[in-house]
Homo-oligomer: A and B are copies of this chain.
């Protein structure tokens, strides 16, 4: 999985019908400390993530292995909202200290 930050949403009225009801998040990949990279993906939301959240997202067939995305044609899904990234006995990221 990769770490990314939710930076927006994508709305599409005309779509493959099995995608109905999913939320599509615009996610920008980040370094472990939350610093934004240049890389964007659009991911289905499996956890109720919102703008600003640092998240874990999975790609490939694993993206379809959640309650929300089962048997739906998505290739990237937000799986978790990150609380802490610990690196070398320090915190690279803490959700608490972001606000």
Using a CB–CB cutoff of 8 Å, the interface residues on chain A facing chain B are: 1-3, 7-19, 24, 26, 31-32, 40-43, 46-48, 51, 56, 58-67, 71-77, 79-88, 92
Contact = CB atoms under 8 A, between A and B. Distances in A.
A40 to B, nearest CB: 6
Nearest to A58: B75
Question: How many copies make up the complex?
Answer: 5
B15 A79 contact: yes
A73 B67 CA distance: 10
A82 B1 contact: no
A81 B58 CA distance: 23
A83 B8 contact: no
| 6 cross-chain pairs, A with B, having the tightest CB-CB distances, nearest first | A15-B80, A8-B87, A65-B73, A12-B80, A62-B75, A11-B84
